[in-house]
Amino acid sequence: MYITNKPMAISSVIILGLSLIMLIIAMFESSLLAWLAPEPRFYIPTLGFVIGAFLLSCCISKEE
């Protein structure tokens, strides 16, 4: 397994890291009941996780 596109891999890791930071901040700023309401502070980091994971999976190849 190797990385075919290093800039895209670096970008996706940065997106995943920033999404994790945003989600942690959102969790500690609100109560647990706020998770039931769809608010941008929760679904924007989730979209970041999805986009970052997709980009990372696009630039990793199993063939050598």
State the average pLDDT over residues 13-34: 83
Reported as a pLDDT band with limits 50, 70 and 90, residue 29 is confident
With a pLDDT cut of 90, the percent of the chain lying above it is 28
CA pair distance 63, 21, nearest whole angstrom: 33
Other CB atoms within a 10 A radius of the CB of residue 48 amount to: 19
Token representation of residue 45: 């980091």
Reported as a pLDDT band with limits 50, 70 and 90, residue 21 is very high
E-assigned strand segments in 1-64: 2-3, 60-61
CA pair distance 24, 53, nearest whole angstrom: 18
CB 11 within 8 A of CB 55: yes
State the average pLDDT over residues 38-53: 84
State the average pLDDT over residues 45-60: 89
